[in-house]
Amino acid sequence: MSILTGARSTSVSEVDFRRPSRVSRDAIVALEANHELFARRLSTAWSASSYAALEVEHVATDQLSLDDFVRSLPLPTALGVVHVGALDATAFIQLDMPFALLVVERLLGGPGDPSTGDVDRRPTELEQVLLAHELLEPAVVAIDEALKDLAGDTSELRSVEIAPQPLQLGSPGDLLLLLTYRVEIRGDLPAQGLVTIAYPVAPLVPQLDRLLLGGRSSEDKVDDLNTAPLADTMMEAALDVRVRIGRTPLDAAVLARLQPGDVLRLDHPTDRPADLVVDEHHLGTAHLGKRGRKVAVQVVEPPTPPRQGGPPAAATAVDPAAPASVAGHPTKASPTHPTDPRDEGRR
């Protein structure tokens, strides 16, 4: 009896130690998540132009050298050379030629039936123009949508290669990160093909941290972590809210002769709300009123930034009592107005 009898089956993954992976698994997951928007945008654009229901689904992520990538492509193929603004580098979009020609046939009013005719051929000049404008350019726009967290210039389709050569595209040893998607046409004449985005790893790796942080740098993330406890503490601090009605100028001699019962005329119109002040900064305005047996205010203007220039208005000298408090949820109350000061008082 063999000692291997009953052993559990295991899966084996090939590892090329001559070309170790330079992109972490977490970064790849973040890049795939960002490119879900690419799949949705591409599906919408191609469905609208071909009058067919298309579904775009991610199927694989790989890392290959530029030489290995180009040599793995079928001939002929549709390879778009793209300058990606977010990376300021050259990337590639590859379409299966048979599938691309089926979509072009639908664009021209044909049935796009994969069971009739040989579509594994080089495209005509007209078909190549449609490949660029109706298929590859919407894919470039979808790439910008996926990389929108990395602020940069708009990406641009530079050229379309039918029989690409590695030396024409860059250094053969450059490492590429490949995202492959299956595109399926649903309906009476179903068809499917593959779309592959090939990003250069060298300019992509420095940007992956920003993708993990939602477009922000790691320094911004550290600042958020450091300031979050301070912000929470500040929100729990108790503040002294004051209500200011107005002011009036008085000579020192008049101030010294003030007696109970004297009436002072303020520079505050009766139809204007009072000011809410916090630490000598204007916070908003409120109407004076009453809630139960206590004076209250009804906020009529939301908080605003501190006023620029000039000292804040001084508190009235009529009542030096403690500042009034703002009701948490005041009911609607008619604003109270100061008594008409018909008696000028002893001045």
Say if residue 347's pLDDT is above 60: no
Name the more confident of 10 and 237. Answer: 237
The per-residue pLDDT for 16 is 55
**What does pLDDT average to over the chain?**
77
Burial of 109 (0-12, 13-18, 19+ CB in 10 A): exposed
Instruction: Choose the weakest-confidence range: 1-10, 112-121, 163-172, 198-207.
Output: 1-10
The confidence band for 52, taking pLDDT boundaries of 50, 70 and 90, is: confident
237-341+343-347 CATH, one of 3.90.950.20, 3.20.20.100, 3.90.550.10, 2.30.330.10: 2.30.330.10
The per-residue pLDDT for 25 is 84
Structure tokens at 243: 């209500």
Mind listing the pLDDT tens digit for each residue in 149-201?
887 889 999 999 998 887 778 888 889 999 999 999 887 778 889 999 999 99
Neighbours of 92 (CB within 10 A): 24
Backbone angles phi, psi at 301, to 5 degrees: -135, 130
Say if residue 326's pLDDT is above 60: no
CATH 3.40.1550.10 range(s) for the chain read 25-221
**Residue 115 near residue 88, CB atoms below 8 Å:** no
Q: How far apart are CA 314 and CA 325, in angstroms?
A: 18
Domain spanning 25-221: CATH 3.40.50.2000: no
CATH 2.30.330.10 range(s) for the chain read 237-341+343-347
Mind listing the pLDDT tens digit for each residue in 205-249?
888 877 776 544 545 444 555 556 666 666 777 778 888 887 788
The per-residue pLDDT for 339 is 42
